[in-house]
Amino acid sequence: MSSSIAKSSAMRIAARRHRLFSSTAVTGGRAQLPAALEERVSQTLDNMKSAGTFKTERVITTPQSSSIKVQTSTKPVLNFCATNSLGLADHPTVVQRASEYLNKWGNGLSSVRFICGTQTIHKDLENQITEFYGQQETRDTILYASCFDANAGIFESLLTDQDAIISDSLNHASIIDGVRLCKAKRFRYANGDVADLDRQLQLAADAGCHVKMVATDGVFSMDGVIAPLKEICDVVEKHGAVLFVDDAHATGFLGPSGRGSGEYWGVMDRVHLVNSTLGKALGGASGGYTVGDRLLVTLLRNTSRPYLFSNTLAPSMVGAATAAIDL
């Protein structure tokens, strides 16, 4: 590259940085990026800014709640966009229990569960969640650091390249990523379209797939549409398939006693596996779980990578979640 081309490329990059960050180029102490990466990334960010899709974060100066304060305003503002559906994120009982667990059980385990990261409180919370869903004799619960992790770990662990995953077209990004990590053949059905699901299950059967797992959000996060689980269960059973539901946007408040989309449709006993979060209605902190058939959960404990290779849920979060479920 001639020195004048290199110079003009460097100037273009510096100009982009200036546009993106409203500051002049860093003069020293910065590890140099390869020009190709620097150019591509700054171009991508520039394009996002032009398209109006570049994200900035509104900084909150209070606890999360329905009325909050933000850095850009002196007045309190009403907050309709958190998934704090039960208002438990700053509930005194939840905060108090988190603080008690922090003091009694320490800040963290510095370990994954299977090495030395399981305390009685982790087993108690898993049992409490299983009890919440019922059928404790045949079901079990496994905790993750997030529902994203639960979704990342479930498909690869349970399905092989002989199997099929049939996924709703509007499923959450974490389900899409979890499916990407697994070797099963992929089928997609139109959002909530049970006739299309039936067709895709037939295609999977025709392709000779052994296990067919259907994956759907219980409630779709972007539109709030509730998946038609009754009809989905009928089709799943017709094909001898397995039903997985991500209930992150239903747990705690949908259904007569808040047990989610399965309870809402009266089909809790027909759903094989539910993944959900402790980071929305159930206290708003962090954590996720899979609840379902004990046999499958036992395999997850042994092979699910986000569980095996990531740190245990912090005691304060365990405390907050137990209080949220109690409430």
- Interacting residue ranges for ligand PLP, rule: CB under 6 A: 146-148, 151, 172, 174, 217, 221, 246, 248-249, 277, 279, 288
Q: Which is nearer to ligand PLP, 25 or 176 (CB)?
A: 176
In 63-109, beta strands by DSSP E: 67-68, 77-78
* Residue 229, C-beta contacts closer than 8 angstroms, at least 6 positions apart: 216, 218, 245, 261, 262, 264, 265, 267, 271
- 293's enclosing H/E stretch is strand 288-293
Query: Least distance (Å) from ligand PLP to the CB of residue 119?
Result: 21
| Residue 272 designated active-site | no
How far apart are alpha carbons 212 and 93 in whole angstroms? 43
Query: Least distance (Å) from ligand PLP to the CB of residue 252?
Result: 13
Q: Which of 91, 122, 212, 249 is catalytic?
A: 249
| Residue 172 designated active-site | no
Query: Least distance (Å) from ligand PLP to the CB of residue 166?
Result: 17
| Residue 18 designated active-site | no
Q: Residue-wise over 130-166: b if at least 16 C-beta within 10 A, else e?
A: bebbeeeeebbbbbbbbbbbbbbbbbbbbbeeebbbb
Query: Least distance (Å) from ligand PLP to the CB of residue 167?
Result: 13
Q: Which is nearer to ligand PLP, 187 or 244 (CB)?
A: 244
How far apart are alpha carbons 253 and 283 in whole angstroms? 12
Instruction: Give the long-range contacts of residues 226-229, CB within 8 A, separation 24 or more.
Output: 226/250, 226/254, 226/261, 226/264, 227/168, 227/192, 227/261, 228/192, 228/194, 228/265, 229/261, 229/262, 229/264, 229/265, 229/267, 229/271
Q: Which is nearer to ligand PLP, 209 or 325 (CB)?
A: 325
Q: Which of 85, 91, 280, 316 is catalytic?
A: 280
Of 156, 186, 159, residue with least CA distance to 171: 186
Q: Which of 69, 221, 230, 239 is catalytic?
A: 221
Q: Which is nearer to ligand PLP, 130 or 277 (CB)?
A: 277
Query: Least distance (Å) from ligand PLP to the CB of residue 192?
Result: 14
How far apart are alpha carbons 134 and 278 in whole angstroms? 18
Query: Least distance (Å) from ligand PLP to the CB of residue 153?
Result: 12
In 82-239, beta strands by DSSP E: 139-144, 164-168, 185-189, 212-217
User: Do residues 243 and 270 touch, judged by C-beta distance below 8 A?
Assistant: yes
Q: Which is nearer to ligand PLP, 129 or 204 (CB)?
A: 129
Q: Which is nearer to ligand PLP, 140 or 246 (CB)?
A: 246
Q: Which residues are catalytic?
A: 221, 249, 280
